[in-house]
Structure 1
């Protein structure tokens, strides 16, 4: 966290008081000096990442009142470290702090205390990426070298502005996720099936790169968004492999015999997708058709009796390679659509639940 701020220190130095001298107390209310000739407490920003030196500004005037109270307000740009949690990125909240402690003087010699208003935000300017939520301050003791040092901690909580990420990342990502399902809707003969799924896969890879660049690499947690994108990328890779196999099945020569295992799997899947009325959802309609066929056979063959029912016709149904490819397309489209919806709902649920807590 980079903060442009200043500390306001105040302490009493009775050696500088002139209230006991009437000749001066009525005419001189305050005087100014610099730290080159006055005592200043040795203070450092303990969690600074670029400067661990003592806070100092030799050109800044120090105000001294009649009672000997000294007020000193050094300012600087403070870069402090934060523990980042990107689990809910880009709907995350981050809590960062500025830790001020004494250096050289132990707590018994210099004790830090908070003012009535420890954090003043009258000059605060809104940040384009982060929204200020709250702040707090705390007094504690730090142990170093078996000695106790006085410490002040100023804590700030910010929430990431997610509008930009919602428009540029989340919504396009959902649209791409549903586009990956429709590769199985393209006919194999169209010639664009493999090119389509490769294009969607490349788009997912690009978005995964963009998200990875924006997420802080110092985080100790994994973002739900990265996991979701990685799953979608994995499903895209699998869709490419499935598409290659479906194309290979579609253009297999009719002279090549269909294996028994392939035949059994195809019959099971054909019932699940109601292929040409092979599922239970169309059972009633197919039963009537079966009766009509029996009557026609009785008329033409006379003495030949036809036995069996619709289920036997289904079991004995044969498939061509092109029909197998089409059945697999329909089945994989439904499977992918179900998985995308479930993963998207789970992602939204995790993000909503985490934001509430």
Structure 2
């Protein structure tokens, strides 16, 4: 028989840990009365309870919530006994949640004695174990965080001369700050523990902060010069000779390797330019006079001022006669002892010092300028070589910290993310096993895949 529930006796079953404030059933549906005296009454009701959330392993967490039902006025002598039930909740009409999996729903009967009464008051506690579905958080939080953390490693692969190392570090730091804000909105506010994802973000932020500090130090080394810093011998020994071999760095050799002639003096360079043969002793100045200066001067061609009146070269050269060349501007009279442009064979002894001294001074100036240019080039090469050594030290430091931060990032990711116990739990949820709605949905999906 279907009888109104108001006309029969109803137990005052309430939810002890109610969070709504309404302890009674609001819709009084009819009850089913059997001939044996059994009464079945299933009123629809929405119960709101509170549950203490442990976010230590968020988003790979499991939560256990309990709901305590019992009679408010009837003691244990007036209510029937009940056994413990492994599946205490009927899940046949349960809709599968998109966020949680139901792992266990056992029901346990308890009795409690209060100070007011001698009778025991029974209650039934339903322990509901929930496991969070992690696909959403893995795709939207964990994978981007892991990618950003590995970007902090690539900072050390970026060349120092690019000028973008610090910008990349700051951009990564700002990205992690945005993820922190998203995490604060998703997880419930609690000060009892730090969530797993929060620990990983803190670790990544510390890693990025250290990368900023290290990058600044590496840039300082990269832009050093002989004017501001002097490379210590141990720095050259460690960072140029030892560490590159350990880090598998091979410094390319210069194309213009120094040769055995690098130690020659500017005088030798000038001699090479003039192509003076080794037997310099036979190179004699005017009129057989040898000039022993600090450097070797190649022989000059016969001057037109040594041309004799006969149109040939003076006897001091011992060469065949050449045609006489007139001086421009009519200067033949100036250097001729007779004033008519004729030069006697004895002119060499008188004219040679007059022309050789200015020529020697010009040659000395030229050689001094050549010596200065050669020394300047040598100093510039040495300056650039020291600068390249500092840049190579910065490259070695970058490669060293690249390996250190890579190992730290991999170990930190494994030690923090993989410590969640639910990652190693292969237990199947019971809601998909007992829910008729879930089974029907799976059958429809299976039929659709077969038709395709």
1:182 partnered with 2:151: no
After superposition, residues 1-357 of structure 1 pair within 5 angstroms as 30-35=1-6, 37-51=7-21, 53-57=22-26, 59-111=28-80, 113=82, 118-147=88-117, 148-218=120-190, 220-258=192-230, 264=234, 267-270=237-240, 273-274=243-244, 277=245, 279=246, 320-351=389-420, 355-356=424-425
Deviations 1:246-298 (A, max 9, x none): 323333453123486xx646744556631xx5x59799x9xxxxxxx9xx79x
User: How many residue pairs are counted as aligned between the two chains?
Assistant: 297
Give SS of 2:420's match. helix
- C-alpha distance in 2, partners of 1:103/1:266? 84
- C-alpha distance in 1, partners of 2:168/2:18? 51
CA contact (8 A) 2:56 2:194 kept: yes
Q: Which runs of 5+ in 2 are unaligned?
A: 252-257, 265-384, 427-452
Q: 1:280 to 1:136 in 2, by over 3 A?
A: closer
Displacement of 1:67 after TM fit?
4.5
Give SS of 1:77's match. coil
Q: 1:340 to 1:54 in 2, by over 3 A?
A: closer
Counting strand residues as a fraction of each chain, which structure ranks higher?
1
Give the structure, 1 or 2, with the largest relative contact order (CA under 8 Å, sep 6 or more).
2
Q: 1:338 to 1:271 in 2, by over 3 A?
A: farther
Partner residue in 2 for 1:310? none
- C-alpha distance in 2, partners of 1:179/1:224? 21
- C-alpha distance in 1, partners of 2:172/2:27? 61
Q: Which deviates more from structure 2 when the two are superposed, residues 121-130 or residues 150-159?
A: 150-159
CA contact (8 A) 1:131 1:158 kept: yes
CA contact (8 A) 1:86 1:221 kept: yes
Q: Which deviates more from structure 2 when the two are superposed, residues 60-69 or residues 170-179?
A: 60-69
Q: Which runs of 5+ in 1 are unaligned?
A: 1-29, 286-292, 301-316
CA contact (8 A) 1:31 1:65 kept: no
CA contact (8 A) 1:132 1:158 kept: yes
TM-score by length of 1: 0.70
TM-score by length of 2: 0.57
Give the root-mean-square deviation of aligned CA atoms.
3.6
- C-alpha distance in 2, partners of 1:266/1:351? 47
Q: 1:59 to 1:346 in 2, by over 3 A?
A: closer
Give SS of 2:171's match. helix
Displacement of 1:102 after TM fit?
1.8
Displacement of 1:112 after TM fit?
5.7
Displacement of 1:115 after TM fit?
9.5
- C-alpha distance in 2, partners of 1:324/1:100? 72
